Amino acid sequence: MNTHPHLIVCEHCDCVYRRPRLTRRQRAHCTVCGLPLACRAPLHEERALALNIASVIAFLLVITCPVIQVDIWGRHTDATLWQAAMALTQGVGAPIAVPVAAILLVPLGLSLLQCWVLGFASTNKTAPAFATAMRLIAWLRPWSMIEVCLLSVLIAMIKLSGYLEVHAGAGLWALAALTLLNGYLGTQDLRTLWEPPT
């Protein structure tokens, strides 16, 4: 089968272009549908690796530290995001807890996989099982919902603050940090790792 590495096809409208060479601040857009083309300047591997390691650490804090603490009549409880998923297992609606728990773990899986491919890429090697890791990354990415977690924690706090005394836990700050890290990492297109080094 012939390949045409000098070409790029718009994912949205199927238009074919010559693959442009871009610098870090440039983006190429399709002239027909106006959406961005899937080509970027080569990644800053070390920086992306460092931020992925940071997001693994932030994630571990999010999942182990309570995000919300409440006090009522001298009694104190707190909850982590993981406990929130487990709370859904009560009653008839229990099956929903399984996908919710899986969705909570997606950012960890993503960051670990990205650390794996970027770690090798930063030493100019190809990671073992590179293709499988990249496929998993592409498959998991749409299910990462860190921003939604952050907003839902804030809404739960407001919802409860009418009846109880509510405090932010350490997990909430870690969650805010993770949201920022994920926001930046979401703009990095790992698909450039497929391109042979020039």
Partner 1 sequence: MSPPRAQRLGVAACHLCTLVSDAPSNAHARCPRCGARLHSRKPASRSRTFALLCAAILFYLPANLLPVMRTSQFGHAVDSTILSGVMAFWQAGEWDIALVIFIASIVIPCAKFLALGWLMWTTRRKHTLGRKQRTLLYRAVEFIGYWSMLDVLVVGLVCALVRFDLLGRIEPQPGIAFFGAVVMLTMLSASHFDPRLIWDDPEHD
- Figure out which of the listed residues 23, 90, 124, 187 binds partner 1, where binding follows CB under 8 A: 90
CB-based contact 46:62 (threshold 8 Å): no
- Figure out which of the listed residues 27, 125, 148, 186 binds partner 1, where binding follows CB under 8 A: 148
Residue 92 CB partners (closer than 8 Å, separation 6+): none
Supply 65's token pair: 């530290």
d(CA 37, CA 42): 14
User: Partners of 55 in the beta sheet?
Assistant: none
Shortest Å distance, C-beta 172 to partner 1: 11
Contact pattern from residue 116 through residue 135 relative to partner 1, giving x for each residue in contact according to CB under 8 A and a dash for the rest: ---------------x--xx
Supply 179's token pair: 């949201």
Shortest Å distance, C-beta 49 to partner 1: 20
The stretch near partner 1 (CB under 8 A) out of 50-58, 90-98, 116-124, 174-182 is: 90-98
The stretch near partner 1 (CB under 8 A) out of 50-58, 84-92, 115-123, 173-181 is: 84-92
CA-based nearest residue to 80, from 178, 4, 170: 170
Would you say 44 or 130 has its CB closer to partner 1?
A: 130
Contact pattern from residue 7 through residue 26 relative to partner 1, giving x for each residue in contact according to CB under 8 A and a dash for the rest: xxx-xxxxxxx---------
In Å, how far are 45, 64, 102 from 151, measured between CA atoms? 30, 19, 19
Q: Determine which helix (DSSP H) or strand (DSSP E) holds 78, and give its type and residue range.
A: strand 75-79
Alpha helices in 30-122 (DSSP H): 45-64, 81-87, 97-121
Shortest Å distance, C-beta 47 to partner 1: 22
Would you say 53 or 65 has its CB closer to partner 1?
A: 65
CB-based contact 183:55 (threshold 8 Å): no
Q: Name which of residues 165 to 194 contact partner 1 (CB under 8 A).
A: 191, 194
The stretch near partner 1 (CB under 8 A) out of 21-29, 109-117, 120-128, 146-154 is: 146-154
In Å, how far are 86, 104, 119, 148, 154 from 167, measured between CA atoms? 21, 22, 38, 20, 11
Q: Name which of residues 22 to 81 contact partner 1 (CB under 8 A).
A: 31-35, 38-39, 67-68, 70, 72-73, 75, 77-79, 81
